[in-house]
């Protein structure tokens, strides 16, 4: 038990010792004989303090009575395992996992099995509201479709250099087409429109998008930072702040993940979808979901799948072979002419090992006006193929 001393003023002590006149000292400070012992409180009752004699012999000292500290019982961790949320054991992340982390909306579509059909239906309704005019180039006296292709190729090159996501590129092209559908642009300002549209798309999709100063530098200082910002404000105002719109890339990934297509089929479908961006005059009159479904159908046709268009794909996409046949025919010509085009950024991108070198694949010849619905079950009796099968050796023959 701790012992405390009562403080006594040193001046009073000296005055008493020298026998000075202590009349001036208050009586309560003068010690008259023995002082009463201090009292302590126990449960609100004052008791006299008792001195405890400390014995040096440790054997006579009673052991201290200490109460055992109760152990805090740890609550078991709640493990949730449902279709909407699953706990997965940690491990090293592969490149595919990193790609999925960059696509939060697609990851949500993949996990929400119960709401997948409703979400897909909602996206199809939204894509109809964000479609550009297919014939807007007729009201553009200063630019042409070729200039637009050069602009899209330049944006694809910038996206590849800065490691931007595909969603950013697709959104930027959508902004450009919707903006040109309402505003007439001169030739000298077309690149400024593309840079500002890519700036807006980067802010929508990227964590660290390129800043206006960087876009001014990427245009070889043809425009100032202030011009890029002013054009950005104009584009947002013309688009009425409707900046979230489904793209064909989103639908391709959604269909491929739902039906668990192999890597080559997915990469070839993505390659066809990205080639479509260069040719706005042929594909702007189609919806993004239609282009995505046709790209998968063309990829399965070129990879000689035993079942060209299964019933489950037709049900989830909502499109039949007959409905997609005009797009497939146009994509067949686009894929055939892709090595001979002046714009080669997308082709060089898909020649890499990351995308299974699908750009090196020789396309099959489609010698028919329309794909036959009989190919839903199986067979390629009505399609002539002049390519030897050994051309698939460099990529890998996948027939799942």
CATH number for the domain harbouring residue 158: 1.10.472.10
pLDDT at 94 over 90: no
- Which residue, chain included where needed, has tokens 């020789």? 362
Do 226 and 262 fall within a single domain?
no
**Which residues span the domain enclosing 307?**
248-394
Q: Which residues share a beta bridge with 40?
A: 47
Place of tokens 């996409």: 317
**Mean pLDDT, residues 168-173:** 94
Flag whether pLDDT at 379 surpasses 50. no
Of 23-27, 98-102, 249-253, 344-348, the range with the lowest mean pLDDT is 98-102
Q: Which two tokens stand for residue 3?
A: 């012992």
Spatial separation of the C-alpha atoms in residues 358 and 376, rounded to whole Å:
24
How is the chain split among helix, strand and coil, in percent rounded to 5?
Answer: 50, 0, 45
Secondary structure (3-state) at 284: coil
Pick from 238, 272, 300: which residue ends a domain? 238
Instruction: Quote the pLDDT of residue 176.
Output: 95
CA angle 181, 176, 340 (to 5 degrees): 105
For residue 188, with 0-12 CB atoms within 10 Å meaning exposed, 13-18 middle and 19 or more buried, which class applies? exposed
276's enclosing H/E stretch is helix 263-276
φ, ψ of residue 262 to 5 degrees: the values are -70, 170
Least confident of 39-43, 177-181, 343-347, 396-400: 396-400
pLDDT digits (tens, 9 = 90+) for 258-288: 888 889 999 999 999 999 999 988 899 899 9
Beta strands 45-48 and 39-42: pairing type? antiparallel
pLDDT (0 to 100) of residue 11: 55
Beta bridge partners of 48: 39
Residue 48 resides in a domain:
no
115 in a structural domain: no
Are 157 and 205 members of one domain?
Answer: yes
Which one-letter DSSP state was computed for residue 8?
-
Task: Judge contact between 187 and 143, C-beta under 8 A.
Answer: yes
pLDDT at 86: 43
Does the pLDDT value for residue 30 go beyond 80?
A: no
Q: Are residues 255 and 140 in the same domain?
A: no
Q: Mean pLDDT over residues 330-348, rounded? A: 90
Please, what is the end-to-end C-alpha distance for the chain in angstroms? 83
For residues 257 and 353, state if they share a domain.
yes
Shared-domain flag, residues 211 and 310:
no
Within a domain: 104: no
Q: What is the pLDDT of residue 169?
A: 94
- In the chain, the DSSP E strands lie at 39-42, 45-48
Beta partners for residue 86, in sequence order? 81
Q: Classify residue 254: in a domain, yes or no.
A: yes
- Establish if 110 belongs to a structural domain: no
My answer on whether 293 and 386 are in the same domain is: yes
**What pLDDT score was predicted for residue 365?**
79
Distance of CA 62 to the CA centre of its chain: 68
Average pLDDT score over residue span 313-336: 90
**How many folded domains does the chain comprise?**
2
Instruction: Judge contact between 293 and 319, C-beta under 8 A.
Output: yes
Of 169, 203, 238, the domain-final residue: 238
- In order of 4, 28, 254, 292, 364, the CA distances from 118 in angstroms are 77, 89, 13, 18, 36
pLDDT at 93: 47
Give the residue among 313, 315, 299 at the shortest CA–CA distance from 259. 313
Residue 15 located in a structural domain: no
Kind plus residue range of the DSSP H or E element containing 293: helix 288-302
What is the rounded CA–CA span in Å between residue 137 and residue 151? 14
Per-residue pLDDT reduced to its tens digit, 244-257: 889 999 899 888 88
Whether 77 is covered by a domain: the verdict is no
- Please answer whether residues 248 and 170 qualify as being in contact, where contact means their C-beta atoms are separated by less than 8 angstroms: yes
d(CA 135, CA 180): 10
Quick one: pLDDT at residue 346? 92
Same domain, 136 and 252: no
Whole-angstrom distance, CA of residue 288 vs CA of residue 166: 14
Task: Establish if 361 belongs to a structural domain.
Answer: yes
Domain boundary among 175, 208, 238: 238
Residues 350 and 274 in one domain: yes
Say whether pTM exceeds 0.75. no
Q: Which two tokens stand for residue 248?
A: 């064909």
234 and 259 housed in the same domain: no
Together in a domain, 253 and 390: yes
- pLDDT value at 158 more than 60: yes
- Distance in angstroms (rounded) separating the CA atoms of residues 284 and 132: 7
Tokens of 272: 């066809």
The reply to whether 193 and 279 lie within a common domain is no
Residues 300 and 370 in one domain: yes
What does the mean pLDDT of the chain come to? 75
In the structure, what pLDDT confidence band is assigned to residue 156 with cuts at 50, 70 and 90?
very high
């Amino acid at each position: 038990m701790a012992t405390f001393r009562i403080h006594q003023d040193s001046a009073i002590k000296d005055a008493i010792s020298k026998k000075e006149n202590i009349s001036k000292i208050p009586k309560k400070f003068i010690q008259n004989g023995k002082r009463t012992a201090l009292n302590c409180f126990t449960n609100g009752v004052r008791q006299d303090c008792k001195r405890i004699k400390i014995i040096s012999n440790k054997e006579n000292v009673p052991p201290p009575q200490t109460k055992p500290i109760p152990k805090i019982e740890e609550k078991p961790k709640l493990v949730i395992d449902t279709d909407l949320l699953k706990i997965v054991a940690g491990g090293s992340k592969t490149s595919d996992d990193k790609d999925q982390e960059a696509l939060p909306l697609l990851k949500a579509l993949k996990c929400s099995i119960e709401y997948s059909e409703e979400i897909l239906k909602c996206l199809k309704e939204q894509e109809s509201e964000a479609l550009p005019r297919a014939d807007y180039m007729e009201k553009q006296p200063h630019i042409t479709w070729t200039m637009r292709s050069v602009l899209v190729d330049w944006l694809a090159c910038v996206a590849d250099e800065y490691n931007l996501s595909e969603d950013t590129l697709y959104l930027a092209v959508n902004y450009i087409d919707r903006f040109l559908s309402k505003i007439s642009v001169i030739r000298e300002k077309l690149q400024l429109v593309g840079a500002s549209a890519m700036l807006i798309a980067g802010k929508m999709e990227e964590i660290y998008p390129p800043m206006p100063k960087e876009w001014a530098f990427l245009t070889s200082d043809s425009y100032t930072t202030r011009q890029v910002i002013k054009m950005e404000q104009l584009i947002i105002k013309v688009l009425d702040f409707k900046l979230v719109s489904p793209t064909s890339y989103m639908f391709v990934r959604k269909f491929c993940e739902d039906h668990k297509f192999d890597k080559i089929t997915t990469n070839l479908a993505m390659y066809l979808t990205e080639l479509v961006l260069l040719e706005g005059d042929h594909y702007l009159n189609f919806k993004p979901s239609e282009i995505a479904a046709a790209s998968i159908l063309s990829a399965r046709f070129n990879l000689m799948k035993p079942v060209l268009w299964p019933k489950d794909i037709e049900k989830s996409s909502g499109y039949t072979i007959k409905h997609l046949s005009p797009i497939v025919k146009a994509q067949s010509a686009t894929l055939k002419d892709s090595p001979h085009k002046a714009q080669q950024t997308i082709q060089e991108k898909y020649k890499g090992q990351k995308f299974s070198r699908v750009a090196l694949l020789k396309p099959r010849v489609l010698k028919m006006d329309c794909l036959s619905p009989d190919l839903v079950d199986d067979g390629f009796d009505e399609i002539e193929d002049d390519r030897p099968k050994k051309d698939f050796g460099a990529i890998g023959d996948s027939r799942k």
